[in-house]
Amino acid sequence: HTRGVISESNDTAPSGWTHAYSGKVRDLYVPDLELLGGAHPLGDVVLVVASDRISAYDHALSPEIADKGRVLTALSLWWFEQISDIVDNHVVSVEVSTTHADGLIPPQFAGRAMICKRLNMFPIECVVRGYLTGSGLVEYRAAQAAGLPGQVCGVELPTGLTDGSKLPAPIFTPATKAELGDHDENISLAQAAARIGEEPAARLRDLSIAVYERAEKIARSRGIIVADTKLEFGIDSATGSIVIGDEVLTPDSSRFWPADEWEPGRAQSSFDKQFVRDWLTSPDSGWDRAADGTPPALPAVVVARTRARYLEAYERLTGQPLAQ
């Protein structure tokens, strides 16, 4: 994996699986085929484990947020169901192991792991924006400052938009998957096509927009605006078809805003790391974002409020409290 291991898993190696990769939040394991007698009973699979790690401004933070991994996993599983008529997903099983090395989910990962089809991931992040903010807003303003029509990733937008404005229609604004330590870079559809081919790029755009529109509608009925979201797709080598992978429509991969507080023209309060970002950038933390050093440990109150926010997002969207 070109993005490298940025942090070793804190979890002890489970029986039947070998640690293969750790991102900022998830740990991937591949089957220990020798132990499993030559093949995994469920086919060509990987074990995707969501940790309780949290990051902000591209820095891993401490301490962890209890139950965050279970929220990300349960919410992804719920969304995969809500969009299953639009696109197949990578989930194969969430069954927990009962015997030694049966290839199922090790008990210590129960609730925050999924056995998934191993996909050949497309090297682009499929971002859809229904609202203008973040890097989209930065790009829009830069184009205007250069005397051009406001645009994001080559998509032209009306004038007069501000932070938090609703776009006339959702737009596909792909990004490169940056190498470790780098920031993802927004690219145009044409640049995405140059990387993965014209037909797959158009297909990913259509799927991404369809998924966003479905999610936006469901979330809105529960009082949450999905301002934007990042999706990842891959190819199932057994069938050659496009499958949606990774996590979907979680507070980590999306901007969720409380609908009743939405007010364009300012930064919106968001449903995820708001308290973390607010504290880090406040004088209290003593952290200088521009200097980009290691951020200080989060205070207990920030951790507790962040945990509550993740649980609330899950509960509001699914209508159910997270299982204990």
Site membership for ligand ATP, residue 309 (CB under 6 A): no
Among 19, 40, 70, 90, binds ligand ATP (CB under 6 A): 90
Counting contacts by CB under 6 A, is residue 24 touching ligand ATP?
Answer: yes
CA distance 75 to 248: 8
Residue 232 makes contact with ligand ATP by CB under 6 A: yes
Nearer to ligand ATP, 22 or 151 (CB): 22
- Residue 119 CA to residue 122 CA, distance in Å, equals 9
**By CB under 6 A, which span of 21-29, 71-79, 151-159, 305-313 interacts with ligand ATP?**
21-29
Is the CB of 216 or the CB of 232 nearer to ligand ATP?
A: 232
* 65 three-class SS: coil
Decide: is 121 part of the binding site for ligand ATP (CB under 6 A).
Answer: yes
What is the C-alpha to C-alpha distance for residues 223 and 246, in angstroms, rounded to an integer?
A: 25
Q: Give the count of residues interacting with ligand ATP (CB under 6 A).
A: 18
Q: What residue is closest to ligand ATP based on CB? A: 23
- The distance of closest approach from Cβ of residue 194 to ligand ATP in the complex, given in angstroms and rounded to an integer, is 20
The encoded tokens of residue 253 equal: 């991969």
Instruction: State the Cα–Cα distance between residues 231 and 170, nearest whole angstrom.
Output: 14
| Contact between 49 and ligand ATP per CB under 6 A | no
Among 29, 31, 46, 155, binds ligand ATP (CB under 6 A): 46
CA distance 135 to 119: 28
Helix (H) / strand (E) element for 138: namely helix 134-145
Rounded Cα–Cα distance for residues 26 and 279 (Å): 24
Min separation Cβ 137 and ligand ATP, Å:
20
Stretches 22-30, 96-104, 266-274, 276-284: which one binds ligand ATP (CB under 6 A)?
Answer: 22-30
Binding segment for ligand ATP (CB under 6 A), chosen from 23-31, 141-149, 189-197, 286-294, is: 23-31
Tell me the C-alpha distance between 31 and 47, whole Å. 8
Of 24-32, 152-160, 207-215, 267-275, which part binds ligand ATP (CB under 6 A)?
Answer: 24-32
For residue 42, state whether it binds ligand ATP (rule: CB under 6 A): no
Q: Determine whether 316 is exposed, middle or buried from the number of CB atoms within 10 Å of its CB (0-12, 13-18, 19+).
A: middle
Helix, coil or strand: residue 54 = strand
Name which position in 14, 16, 25, 249 contacts ligand ATP (CB under 6 A): 25
Q: Counting runs of H as helices and runs of E as strands, what totals does the chain give?
A: 6, 17
* Spatial distance between the Cα atoms of 243 and 122, rounded to a whole number of angstroms: 10
- 40 in contact with ligand ATP (CB under 6 A): no
* 23 near ligand ATP (CB under 6 A): yes
| 204 makes contact with ligand ATP (CB under 6 A) | no
Contact between 60 and ligand ATP per CB under 6 A: no
Query: Would you count residue 48 as binding ligand ATP (CB under 6 A)?
Result: yes
Say which amino acid occupies 228: D
Which of 258, 186, 188, 251 is closest to 223 using CA atoms?
A: 258
**What does the alpha-carbon distance between residue 35 and residue 144 come to, in Å, rounded to a whole number?**
59
| 3 state SS of 301 | helix
Residues that bind ligand ATP (CB under 6 A): 3, 23-26, 28, 46, 48, 90, 116-119, 121, 232, 234, 245-246
